A = this chain, B = another copy of it.
Amino acid sequence: MDFLTELKIRAGVIDETLERYLPPPEVYPPVIHEAMRYSVFAGGKRLRPVLTMAAAEAAGGEPARVLPAACAIELIHTYSLIHDDLPAMDNDDFRRGKPTSHRVFGEAIAILAGDALLTLAFELMAKNFPDDPADSARVLRVVAEIAGAAGTRGMIGGQVADTLFADQEIDPATLEYIHRHKTGALYRAAVRSGAILAGAGDDVLRSLTEYAEYLGLAFQIKDDILDVEGDQARLGKPVGSDKRNKKATYPGLFGLDRAKEKARQAVAAAVRALKNFDRRADFLRELAKFVIARDF
């Protein structure tokens, strides 16, 4: 089976599980559950939860057992998009070709839908793992991992810096801080959570963490490149928005060619981090190549 087909199948498993975890839209008050579902099912690639499952597999575990953590991370990713799009933040009207949450439901409900997805992420982890005392300690470790990555020393820290430096010239170190935190932290937690739940030892966890860090970097550089030379219809968003919003990007700081070279190097380093893993890490290897080959 080719990689994209395999990715689609795995993303489908995530979608079905999210469908089960989200409250039905008719639960009172319906508007908040509609808003949560609107953003969760707005067409994400599900790369983070797929990574959690693939990391569990690479570490010798059972991918289906990590679904609560995988879905929690996707909900946290979705909440962060809703809040980032708000008028007080990036003030974006469209995402993935669809009107953003606050354009559809109004600002108050968009804020609350983000809050609700973040809250549900932790509720579903606490409720949906098997009720086994040996597992509980691992689940708590993963809750700490994910909350840490989503907090001010991770994703929120990156978002704050991005907000502070909006419309300003920034240096490469600040650009790296922003990306490492705003997007990198959650990729890292996605991979580490799968590995921890699978019972990975220190060496395996270290290698997978290295893989995740290079993967996150490659992903971000490729995102910046797509904003320069991507196809609007494939991406579901206007290209050139970084330039219009004066956002610091890798192509902006280094030029397009060197940015592409940096992305290739990051993917090679991600694959190299897996050199001691067997065939069960093949999906992670393919995923790293996909991250820069993709046109969406």
Q: A201 at interface (Cβ–Cβ under 8 A)?
A: no
Q: How far is the CA of A106 from the CA of B131 in the complex (A)?
A: 43
Whether B33 lies near A152 (C-beta < 8 A) is yes
Distance between A115 CB and nearest chain B CB, rounded to angstroms = 6
Distance between A141 CB and nearest chain B CB, rounded to angstroms = 7
Whether B147 lies near A120 (C-beta < 8 A) is yes
Whether A151 lies near B83 (C-beta < 8 A) is no
B residues less than 8 Å from A64 (CB atoms): none
Distance between A167 CB and nearest chain B CB, rounded to angstroms = 13
Task: Mark each residue of chain A from 104 to 136: 1 if its CB lies under 8 Å from any CB of chain B, else 0.
Answer: 001111011011101110110111010101101
Whether A160 lies near B109 (C-beta < 8 A) is yes
Find A108's partner among B31, B89, B112, B151 (CB 8 Å cutoff): B89
Residues in A62-109 with C-beta less than 8 Å from chain B: 79, 83, 86, 88-89, 106-109
Whether A163 lies near B133 (C-beta < 8 A) is no
Q: A156 at interface (Cβ–Cβ under 8 A)?
A: yes
Whether B111 lies near A152 (C-beta < 8 A) is no
Interface hub of A23, A137, A141 (most chain B Cβ within 10 A): A137
Find A86's partner among B23, B111, B160, B164 (CB 8 Å cutoff): B111
Q: How far is the CA of A153 from the CA of B29 in the complex (A)?
A: 9
Instruction: List the number of copies, as a whole number.
Output: 2
Find A111's partner among B27, B31, B83, B120 (CB 8 Å cutoff): B83
Distance between A66 CB and nearest chain B CB, rounded to angstroms = 16
Q: A148 at interface (Cβ–Cβ under 8 A)?
A: yes
B residues less than 8 Å from A33 (CB atoms): 152
Find A136's partner among B23, B116, B140 (CB 8 Å cutoff): B140
Task: Mark each residue of chain A from 156 to 170: 1 if its CB lies under 8 Å from any CB of chain B, else 0.
Answer: 110111011000000
Find A122's partner among B79, B134, B141, B143 (CB 8 Å cutoff): B143
B residues less than 8 Å from A114 (CB atoms): 115
B residues less than 8 Å from A108 (CB atoms): 88-89, 163
Q: A144 at interface (Cβ–Cβ under 8 A)?
A: yes
Residues in A19-65 with C-beta less than 8 Å from chain B: 23, 27-29, 31-33, 36
Given A33-B152, A123-B143, 6 additional A-B pairs, CB 8 A: A23-B152, A29-B161, A32-B152, A83-B115, A116-B156, A123-B148
13 example contacts (A-B, Cβ-Cβ < 8 A) are as follows A28-B161, A32-B157, A88-B108, A112-B156, A115-B156, A116-B152, A119-B150, A122-B147, A123-B151, A126-B141, A133-B133, A133-B137, A139-B140
Closest CB pairs A-B (n = 10)? A123-B147, A136-B136, A88-B107, A126-B144, A126-B143, A119-B151, A136-B137, A122-B122, A29-B160, A122-B147
A-to-B contact residues, CB < 8 Å: 23, 27-29, 31-33, 36, 79, 83, 86, 88-89, 106-109, 111-112, 114-116, 118-120, 122-123, 125-127, 129, 131, 133-134, 136-137, 139-141, 143-144, 147-148, 150-153, 156-157, 159-161, 163-164
